[in-house]
Chain A
């Protein structure tokens, strides 16, 4: 991040505000997080390895990674369409639709979880329509996917929207006047410009989905080896008072989260340069 504004030493309060910032950050975030890493060091390597490669835990990685990836990609496609429609077209109720996109940010995840379960269970509004076709959503991996689509959607839409708004109309007009059809203009001119933002949004949705708990646990049914997500494995270990096991899985997830955070920061830097 580069700053253009001139900074001064005339203003007071630097020591006070930076001091408080560092103190509060350390107490709330840094010390508890590093304590978790230190705690995992009390495990021997074989203990750690056995915990994080246990068959049930591995099954949860597969579900968490698979469903998060798929949800992020689906959000990439539909989130793009939603952002496109909101930026480019006008239709009645557009403002309300635009505001509603943020619903997953504002709605408590537990509420989202029970609501999705109610709608997509076999006696629910939509579940009862799908049931005769042999499609079960609630209490299957499909339900997990649905919950992860729900919580990831605004990340994609809100990352793409400002980039689409800033697109220069002249470039598209130039492409059209040079003989490109609309589809060519889209794939050769628009998509390459929006792509870094799209990728950033998809990565954010993925990162959020990996750690998500509240909206998933209700709709997933939590069947061992089948519909357990990784955050649930941490809860399960804690309920068995297996603190070491919970810490080991948490450390694996934290490392993945930090790598993703780094990746997203790099993507944003790339996106800002475009």
Chain B
């Protein structure tokens, strides 16, 4: 599933099949698919907005300008503003090393980069509690120096970095591998230095893949619940991100406010899907005139 963009560039237009199913079968299958997606995806999504507006726009607005809600929104934005750029730099560095050079253990490295996706979000938070918490390995040492990581913002940022770790890298590695090194080599031969080569040759080639990874990384960073829940300590106004604030409001039976904050996150998810599709469309269009990037190494 890695490298959606690199794959996209190789998928041609749909063939017209001369054999297909009879019309009633086609209609039945379309109906089954739509009904299933409706029940599982669309109805719950609609419910978020409907529940948020149940008591009118005023109650909706009031929930969003509540100081705790605003503090949660700020913390969520701050967390994403730290986690996403770090994982972006990592993703670019990792894919440069992996895609442009030969070395032993490359496949192992790729698997290790994917590791955070295999770990339960709850465990992603737990590992930092075991390391930095009051009973953790470095906890007492940190306590002596008055540095708090767990139940504080640094822990939330760390857990978020962990769960969003592979997003950019796994998008860029197959994309850069499929592009090879010819263009970069030409630039070097023509006298460009390393940074010039990267910014003028590599970056334009990978921009859509990069943006794609960043968009998905950001959506997860802002929406992460399990990992952040373990390290946050749920201190209102201080260590509550938006998803955690939703949980607190919901558990207090303050459903309108919970769904109001949730509706912001749902809107972010929808925006993410829209941008994602625009990127796919642009990458597809850019790739169309260059069929010589013919084979997919993934």
Binding site for B on A (CB under 8 A): 1-14, 16-18, 20-21, 24-25, 28-33, 35-36, 39, 78, 81-82, 84-89, 91, 95, 97, 99-112, 114-116, 118-119, 124-126, 146, 149-150, 153, 155, 158-159, 162, 165-166, 169, 172-173, 176, 182, 185, 204, 207, 210-214, 218, 231-232, 234-235, 238, 241, 243, 246-247, 250, 253-254, 257-258, 260-261, 265, 272
Contact = CB atoms under 8 A, between A and B. Distances in A.
Contact of B29 (A84, A150, A153, A258): A84
A196 B244 CA distance: 38
B17 A11 contact: no
Interface in B205-243: 216, 219, 222-226, 229-230, 242-243
Nearest to B86: A24
Interface of B: 1, 4, 7, 11, 14-22, 25-26, 29-30, 32-34, 36-37, 39-45, 47-48, 51, 86, 89-90, 93-94, 96-98, 100-103, 107, 109-116, 118-123, 126-131, 133, 135, 137, 158, 161-162, 165, 177-182, 184-185, 188-189, 193-194, 197-198, 216, 219, 222-226, 229-230, 242-244, 246-247, 250, 255, 258-259, 262, 265-266, 268-270, 272-274, 276-277, 295, 297-298
Give the interface SS of chain B, mostly helix, strand, loop or mixed.
helix
B185 A97 contact: no
Contact of B34 (A30, A32, A97, A261): A97
14 contacts: A5-B178, A5-B297, A7-B102, A10-B189, A21-B109, A39-B137, A78-B36, A106-B273, A110-B243, A119-B43, A238-B129, A246-B126, A250-B127, A265-B111
Nearest to B34: A97
Contacts of A35: 127, 130-131, 137
Nearest to A213: B226
Given A12-B194, A89-B30, A97-B34, A108 B223 contact: yes
A247 to B, nearest CB: 6
A37 to B, nearest CB: 10
Contacts of B130: 32, 35-36, 39, 243, 247
Contact of A5 (B122, B181, B189): B181
Given A110-B262, A125-B47, A1 B126 contact: no
A111 B44 CA distance: 9
Give the interface SS of chain A, mostly helix, strand, loop or mixed.
helix
Contacts of A114: 48, 246, 250, 258-259, 262
Contacts of B268: 106
A235 B121 CA distance: 11
The 4 residue pairs across chains A and B that have the minimum distance between CB atoms = A211-B120, A108-B223, A5-B180, A214-B225
B113 to A, nearest CB: 7
